[in-house]
Amino acid sequence: MDWRTLEQWDKEYFWHPFTQMKVYREEENLIFERGEGVYLYDVKGRKFIDAISSLWCNVHGHNHPKLNQALIDQLKKVAHTTTLGSSNVPAILLAKRLVEISPKCLTKVFYSEDGAEAVEIAIKLAYQYWRNKGERRKTFITLSEAYHGDTLGAVSLGGIDLFHGTYKDILFETIKLPSPYIFCKKNYGGLSEDCKNVLLEILEEILKSRDDIVAVSLEAGIQGAAGMLPFPKGFLRGVRELTKKYGVLMIVDEVATGFGRTGTMFYCEQEDVCADFMCLGKGITGGYLPLAATLTTEEVFNAFLGEFGEMKHFYHGHTYTGNNLACAVALANLEVFEEEKTLERLQPKIEYLSQRLKEFWELDFVGDVRQLGFMAGIELVKDKEKGIPFPYGERTGFKVAYKCREKGVFLRPLGDVMVLMPPLVVEREHIDQVVGALKWAIESLKT
Ligand SMILES: *Cc1c(COP(=O)(O)O)cnc(C)c1O
């Protein structure tokens, strides 16, 4: 198939996610054809570093021999069998592995296909947990600027007005705490201990005064989709302590942060947190296939046990829940972590990335630089002194990302926040290429 025809058909038939199709159809777009390690190749034969891990999910690089082989081996057996009331080999093995590597209180695994579903399941499980225990509770506490995916339950927990405001009338209500990064920057000039304590006091006041709280939900350590907004250190830990003290559940969304992204397998490890629900997605298959999981505790699981007629069980499932191929490649993904010592090798690279990120502060149009492990955001502003953003319609972030393509770097920004989130296997030379391209592209805004 020649690329001109593909381009034409892409614009004619394919409605793309999070994309203004009028604009998309007027532009030249990338159509990827193959990948190798940290590189992607398009149908025109051009080569790009995948600097966003194909939307934050690729871990060990593309076209990895071990992950490919795991799929081939499973494919020769069977591609899919249902797990509604029956089971399959890779799904069992993976559930055991996930329990082994996750924080200690988590002992049960409920599968789904996307991060949003993993959150949706946590919402429903938490809600039904209280009902099964004979209590009617319906209020969730969430954070402003939260992002948990695009299905309606996950959107209800979300707090990004641009994505979520439109649907307000058909969402359930939540109590929203301020976004820690924005709150701390505005009132304390940064992520201080004092600010963390004030945020926790606000939460405690709410928990004290209400007896209808189902759960507190939040992302782990950083609000990704909001533009890479890290929490003060210890905030997650503080939320865990308060939710325990007041007897409410805690949902931690590790969809973006899980599988090594912040330097440890899960961010929760860094603050010694074990939430009642941990949502996983994105990197779980190394970026190969759609798979997600909601991990929970013995306590929650037990609340759903009963005789069939008691109707305490969880009436939820999807056609492809626990898909054989996805679970097989997820198992191989975890093996590669060990074989290639991915996390050990990541530490110096995280430090190298921080060092290089500092250079962005010198640029005229850079207003902020944020990082947690291998997640980084560089915020572009029109006026650095006054902190005035570029007008939304100008799509400055996209312009900079398109410019980077000229230097062989593939990026997708979040508004005017340039996201750097390369596969964990990138080497220094790749970081150099990405940083170099991005600095050059930002500088070119001057002309
Ligand atoms: C991407 C993301 C989701 C949604 O995952 P999908 O697989 O896109 O549905 C949920 N939570 C966080 C923190 C995410 O980054």
313 and 393 belong to one structural domain: no
- The answer to whether residue 13 is domain-embedded is no
Domain closes at, from 308, 339, 370: 339
Question: What is the structure's pLDDT at 165?
Answer: 83
Please check whether residue 293 is in contact with residue 252, taking contact to mean a CB–CB distance below 8 angstroms: no
Q: Domain of 321: which CATH number? A: 3.40.640.10
Q: How far is the CA of 57 from the centre of ligand 1 (A)?
A: 10
Question: What is the structure's pLDDT at 447?
Answer: 76
- The answer to whether residue 20 is domain-embedded is no
Please check whether residue 280 is in contact with residue 359, taking contact to mean a CB–CB distance below 8 angstroms: no
Site to substitute for ligand 1 among 113, 121, 147, most atoms within 8 A of C-beta:
147
Question: What is the structure's pLDDT at 162?
Answer: 83
Domain closes at, from 339, 360, 388: 339
- The answer to whether residue 15 is domain-embedded is no
CA–CA separation, 355 vs 421, rounded Å? 15
Q: What ligand 1 atom has the least distance to the C-alpha of 223?
A: 13
Residue nearest to atom 15 of ligand 1 (CA): 256
Q: How far is the CA of 447 from the centre of ligand 1 (A)?
A: 36
Q: CB under 6 Å to ligand 1: residues? A: 114-116, 119, 147-149, 219, 224-225, 253, 255-256, 281-282
Q: How far is the CA of 120 from the centre of ligand 1 (A)?
A: 11
CA–CA separation, 365 vs 438, rounded Å? 12
Alpha-carbon 255 to chain mean position: 4
Question: What is the structure's pLDDT at 161?
Answer: 84
Say how many domains are in the chain. Answer: 2
Q: What ligand 1 atom has the least distance to the C-alpha of 256?
A: 15
> For residue 326, which of 85, 162, 81, 139 has the smallest C-alpha distance?
81
Site to substitute for ligand 1 among 112, 148, 284, 374, most atoms within 8 A of C-beta:
148
- The answer to whether residue 16 is domain-embedded is no
302 and 402 belong to one structural domain: no
287 and 198 belong to one structural domain: yes
- pTM > 0.85: yes or no: yes
Question: What is the structure's pLDDT at 164?
Answer: 79
Question: 438: domain range?
Answer: 31-60+341-446
Domain closes at, from 314, 339, 364: 339
Alpha-carbon 418 to chain mean position: 16
Q: Mind listing the pLDDT tens digit of every residue in the chain (447 residues)?
A: 899 999 999 999 999 999 999 999 999 999 999 999 999 999 999 999 999 999 999 999 999 999 999 999 999 999 999 999 999 999 999 999 999 999 999 999 999 999 999 999 999 999 999 999 999 999 999 999 999 999 999 999 999 988 778 999 999 999 999 999 999 999 999 999 999 999 999 999 999 999 999 999 999 999 999 999 999 999 999 999 999 999 999 999 999 999 999 999 999 999 999 999 999 999 999 999 999 999 999 999 999 999 999 999 999 999 999 999 999 999 999 999 999 999 999 999 999 999 999 999 999 999 999 999 999 999 999 999 998 999 999 999 999 999 999 999 999 999 999 999 999 999 999 999 999 999 999 999 987
117 and 82 belong to one structural domain: yes
Q: How many CA atoms lie within 13 A of 7 on its CB side?
A: 13
